[in-house]
């Protein structure tokens, strides 16, 4: 329930937090953070969305019309309503269950104080007046006011658009949806549940949805056009059946329904839903959480991947490898290990142990130091400067023990100094190097760091992910360029990239020298691949520059410095172990923290979109030939009234158009929609699909009409003659339609050849078995008419093939590989 009586809440608790009794009382009073764990569509909404569709409405009306004629057999297409709805519901519910389970695994767990102890809980368990601790990268989950702060800086850009971090002082407001950039602190929850500032935004942002997709909008556009075509086609058909052909109302309605049903691409939306849902389930099996379903389509279009180094190309964990003193003690003295060096090293170890031990939210570097030097001296700090990605250093002042800084050597030192050169040489080996230095003023002074005196170089080892090289090679093979964008020293980043065989690793770019102008920055990004010392705002600018050149960009990251770039990228990919802020803005979360999962994610997106485009060709070809045939028959009927020649009725019964779709569209489309497909998706879905569907459908419609004209004996012919004429037209239609299936299935392999062969065999059985011939009113016994049907079909095959080649030539593509550039057998 929403919180409306905030003024009546109990007084602010002490910094120790609420007691268990106070928590229970607030729960009984409904003062809880009652936001759903995931704003996924309910089962009821899923059922409604799959039952009450435009296609089901059209088919439902036509089904009722057929039932009114008393011909239940011709109403078999009504089963499509049940099939479309049932399969769509089952697949989406299955996908929902997968997503909901993964969402719980990847959920951010804020740390609250209760009974004086810090405990991590689910966001839904927060109650009013809870004290919630904050550290770098933490997402703020409810509104509140600051009760503790140590240089706490919060980024509210996701809410306000203001990019600069905001200092938070005691008593200051803090809004849900923002995240901590640097420093630490705690705040008291003052608004929870639906009253929280970002609750409604989060509710809308995390819904399981298929909207805002070029694919979906393209299909919707096609369906709207078809709906408008149904009206004149239906009127023309019913006029032709009743007036021109002088049929009674029952066969007239059946003819009209037979003309209209195949115009509706009934399985297209179903196949799209299935492909998306199966994609979600497959990715879920690889511990990949899809937070926004359109991300699957976006992944298929990605042509640039921007990857961070730490946590992406390298393991998250590090190891303290060496403490190399500076100043009077040079490298040679350190190697000799004399007494003075040993004493100084012991002091440096103490300082490092103090810095790591006193850091309330240590990053990976400080965790490595803390693990190697666990015994902190217990000095009293007199000043604190938390680390931030912008300034690249942190520090502590310890009174008589001095003011100490630790951070990037190339930021804190003169680049020409000997110690900076040494740091550069070490970094060139792929090691991470930090500078431990003294400052002449307190680290929290306004003009800090002031004068910096180098004390030592702290060398950390990073382990390159064993699967990183293979992952980068995959992207290269798929014409997806990779840009390494890191906040670390450029030389160190370049060394890691070179060890992985990345082009450009031998000449990394220091981002501090990058141009501000977007066009100039885009020029640099076109030429270079490895970047170091990149600020968070620069990461965002680099994503925008790539997008300005027409690239579809995926950004991977795990730290708070990646949030803005992740948000602006076409697809944001966060590591499961990353900060809550990164996971909240990303469309994809890799819960297993494996960069090597990304090729499977991209591959799944390509499979889904490529296959939907493939099967769309089949469904829309059927729509086109149905429209062409309906209008040809209707125009011929009007012409018969004007020029007084024999009237022409519609060649098929509804049962004929049902079986026509079985083996040329329905079953093959389902199989093809789940097949491997690694072709990168491109924009222009509707135009590309219609370039095959329009000529192919037109050829089928015209050749079927010609075949029917040859066989048609007039409205006064007997029942046998009418059945034979319809059968002749159907044979021609099936021959060309099967060939369209063969074209769509290219490039061929054993299972696709089996698929096309099976389709042919299915129709041969329908025409050969007496029961099915009688049931579906098929009569191929007239050898002359059947031969003419085969000849018309053969001509249609040649025309469709020529149209296919000409279309491919216009597009500058190879006809053999047009549908799929790379396929996993």
Q: Which residues are catalytic?
A: 308
Q: Running DSSP on this structure, what letter comes out for residue 244?
A: I
User: Could you say which DSSP state residue 240 is in?
Assistant: I
* Strand (E) or helix (H) holding 20: helix 20-28
Burial of 768 (0-12, 13-18, 19+ CB in 10 A): exposed
Partner residues linked to 385 by β-bridges: 395
Take residue 362 and report the two structure tokens written for it: 């240590």
Q: Which residues pair with 433 in a beta bridge?
A: 459
How far is residue 605's CA from residue 145's CA, in Å, rounded to a whole number?
A: 43
Parallel/antiparallel/unpaired status of strands 173-174 and 143-155: antiparallel
d(CA 123, CA 142): 8
Q: Which residue carries 């800084």 as its tokens?
A: 405
CB atoms within 10 A of CB 760: 16
CA distance 730 to 737: 10
Strands of 530-532's sheet in order across: 288-290, 588-590, 571-575, 553-557, 304-307, 481-485, 530-532, 509-510
Q: Are 513 and 503 in contact (CB under 8 A)?
A: no
> Which residues on adjacent β-strands are paired with residue 188?
131, 145
**CA 443 to chain centroid:** 43
Helix axis angle, 249-260 to 597-643, nearest 10°: 140
DSSP, res 242 = I
- What's the distance, CA 212 to chain centroid? 12
Backbone angles phi, psi at 406, to 5 degrees: -140, 130
Tokens of 639: 């012409």
DSSP-assigned states of every residue in 124-160 = GG-BTT-EEEE-TTPBP-SEEEEEEEEEEEEE-HHHH
Q: How long, in residues, is the chain? A: 825
Burial 111-139 (b: 16+ CB within 10 A, else e): ebbbeeeeeebebebbbbbbbbbbbbbbb
For residue 318, what are the CA distances in angstroms to 432, 464, 496?
9, 10, 14
Do the beta carbons of residue 654 and residue 711 sit within 8 Å?
A: no
CB 148 within 8 A of CB 186: yes
Look at residues 405, 410, 383 and name the one whose alpha carbon lies nearest to residue 393.
405
Cα distance between residue 658 and residue 671, in whole Å: 19
Task: Render the burial of 564-590: b for 16+ CB within 10 Å, e for the rest.
Answer: bbbbbbbbbbbbbebbbbbbbbbbbbb
Burial class (CB in 10 A: 0-12, 13-18, 19+), 108: middle
> Residue 29 contacts by C-beta under 8 Å, 6 or more apart in sequence?
none
Give dist(CA 55, CA 80) in Å, integer: 10
């Amino acid at each position: 329930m929403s919180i409306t009586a905030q003024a009546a809440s109990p007084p602010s608790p002490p910094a120790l937090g609420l007691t268990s009794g106070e928590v229970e009382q607030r729960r009984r009073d409904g003062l809880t953070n009652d936001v759903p764990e995931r704003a996924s569509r309910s089962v009821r909404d899923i059922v409604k969305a799959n039952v009450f569709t435009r296609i089901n409405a059209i088919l439902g009306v036509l089904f009722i019309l057929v039932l009114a004629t008393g011909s239940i057999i011709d109403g078999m297409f009504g089963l499509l309503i049940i099939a479309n709805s049932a399969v769509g519901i089952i697949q989406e519910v299955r996908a929902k269950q997968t997503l909901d389970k993964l969402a719980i695994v990847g959920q951010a767990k804020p740390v609250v104080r209760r009974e004086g102890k810090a405990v991590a809980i689910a966001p839904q368990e927060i109650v009013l007046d809870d004290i919630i601790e904050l550290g770098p990268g933490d997402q703020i989950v409810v509104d509140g006011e600051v009760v503790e702060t140590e240089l706490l800086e919060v980024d509210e850009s996701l809410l306000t658009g203001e990019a600069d971090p905001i200092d938070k002082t005691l008593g200051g407001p803090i809004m849900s949806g923002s995240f901590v950039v640097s420093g630490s602190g705690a705040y008291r929850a003052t608004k929870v549940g639906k009253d929280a500032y970002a609750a409604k935004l989060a509710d809308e942002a995390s819904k399981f949805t298929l909207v805002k997709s070029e694919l979906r909008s393209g299909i919707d556009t096609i369906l709207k056009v078809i709906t408008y075509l149904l009206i004149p086609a239906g009127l023309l058909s019913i006029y032709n059946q009743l007036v021109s052909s002088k049929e009674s109302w029952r066969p007239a309605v059946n003819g009209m329904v037979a003309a209209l049903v195949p115009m509706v691409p009934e399985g297209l939306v179903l196949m799209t839903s299935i492909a998306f849902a199966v994609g979600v389930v497959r990715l879920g099996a690889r511990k990949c959480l899809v937070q926004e379903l359109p991300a699957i389509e976006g992944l298929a279009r990605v042509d640039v991947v921007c990857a961070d180094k730490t946590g992406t190309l390298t393991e998250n964990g590090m190891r303290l490898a060496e403490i190399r003193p500076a100043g009077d003690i040079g490298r040679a003295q350190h190697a000799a290990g004399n007494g003075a060096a040993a004493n100084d090293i012991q002091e440096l170890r103490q300082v490092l142990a103090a810095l790591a031990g006193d850091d309330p939210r240590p990053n990976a570097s400080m965790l490595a130091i803390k693990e190697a030097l666990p015994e902190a001296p217990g000095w009293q700090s007199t000043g604190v400067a938390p680390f931030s990605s912008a300034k690249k250093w942190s520090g502590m002042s310890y009174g008589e023990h001095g003011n100490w800084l630790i951070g990037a050597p190339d930021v804190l030192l003169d680049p020409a100094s000997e110690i900076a050169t040494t740091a550069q040489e070490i970094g060139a080996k792929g090691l991470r190097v930090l500078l431990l230095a003294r400052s002449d003023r307190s680290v929290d002074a306004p003009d800090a760091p002031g004068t910096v005196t180098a004390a030592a170089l702290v060398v950390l080892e990073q382990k390159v992910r064993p699967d990183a090289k293979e992952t980068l090679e995959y992207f290269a093979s798929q014409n997806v360029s990779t840009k390494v964008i890191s906040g670390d020293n450029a030389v160190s980043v370049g060394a890691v990239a070179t060890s992985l065989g990345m082009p450009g690793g031998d000449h990394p770019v220091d981002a501090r020298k990058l141009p501000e102008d977007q066009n100039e920055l885009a020029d640099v990004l076109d030429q270079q691949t490895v970047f170091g010392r990149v600020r968070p705002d620069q990461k965002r600018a680099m994503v925008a520059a790539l997008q300005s050149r027409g690239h579809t960009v995926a950004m991977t990251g795990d730290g708070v410095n990646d949030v803005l770039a992740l948000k602006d990228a076409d697809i944001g990919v966060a590591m499961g172990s990353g900060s809550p802020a990164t996971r909240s803005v990303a469309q994809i979360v890799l819960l297993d923290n494996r960069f090597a999962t990304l090729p499977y994610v991209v591959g799944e997106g390509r499979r889904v979109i490529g296959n939907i485009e493939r099967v769309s060709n089949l469904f829309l070809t059927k729509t086109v030939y149905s429209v062409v045939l309906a209008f040809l028959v209707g125009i011929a009927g009007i012409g018969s009234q004007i020029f007084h020649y024999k009237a022409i009725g519609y060649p098929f019964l509804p049962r004929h158009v049902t079986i026509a779709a079985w083996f040329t569209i329905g079953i093959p489309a389902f199989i093809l929609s789940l097949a491997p497909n690694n072709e990168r998706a491109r924009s222009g879905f509707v135009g590309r699909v219609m370039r095959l569907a329009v000529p192919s459908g037109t050829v089928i419609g015209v050749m079927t009409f010609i075949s029917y004209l040859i066989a048609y004996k007039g409205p006064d012919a007997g029942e046998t003659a009418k059945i034979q004429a319809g059968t002749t037209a159907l044979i021609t239609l099936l021959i060309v339609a099967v060939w369209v299936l063969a074209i769509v299935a290219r490039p061929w392999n054993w299972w696709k050849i089996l698929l096309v062969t099976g389709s042919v065999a299915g129709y041969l059985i329908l025409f050969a078995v007496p029961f099915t011939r009688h049931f579906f009113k098929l009569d191929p016994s007239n050898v002359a008419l059947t031969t003419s049907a085969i000849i018309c079909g053969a001509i249609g095959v040649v025309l469709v093939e020529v149209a296919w080649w000409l279309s491919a030539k216009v597009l500058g593509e190879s006809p053999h590989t047009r549908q799929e550039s790379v396929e996993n057998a």
